């Protein structure tokens, strides 16, 4: 889910590392699922400041993300 959040922001691992202060190796390890919780929490906070909201599983649906910087409707873009 953290790799998806990065892709939603349109960033590479190197760009996230530069912006967040987290090392590129740690970003790689987080996305691989092999990093400590403190590093994961720091990355989640970083993405949160950029408008990515992580949605906890509920009912039959699993984890998800929402980008609060994306507004409007696709219907608004349809030609008349």
Q: For the chain, what is the total number of helices (H) and then of strands (E)?
A: 4, 2
Average pLDDT over residues 47-67: 91
Instruction: Give the model confidence (pLDDT) of 16-33 as tens digits.
Output: 999 999 999 999 999 999
C-alpha 80: how far from chain center: 34
pTM for the model? 0.79
Report how far residue 58's alpha carbon sits from residue 42's, in angstroms, rounded to the nearest whole number: 24
pLDDT at site 67: 86
Question: 2.60.40.1120, 2.10.77.10, 1.10.10.10, 1.10.260.40: which CATH number matches 1-67?
Answer: 1.10.260.40
Domain ranges of the chain: 1-67
Across 8-17, 55-64, 71-80, least confident range: 71-80
Average pLDDT over residues 31-60: 94
């Amino acid at each position: 889910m953290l790799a998806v959040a990065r892709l939603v922001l349109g960033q590479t691992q190197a760009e996230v590392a530069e912006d967040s202060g987290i090392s590129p190796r740690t970003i790689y390890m987080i996305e691989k699922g092999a990093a400590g919780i403190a590093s994961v929490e720091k990355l989640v906070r970083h993405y949160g400041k950029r408008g990515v909201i992580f949605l906890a599983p509920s009912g039959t649906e699993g984890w998800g993300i929402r980008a609060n910087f994306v507004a409007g409707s696709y219907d608004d873009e349809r030609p008349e």
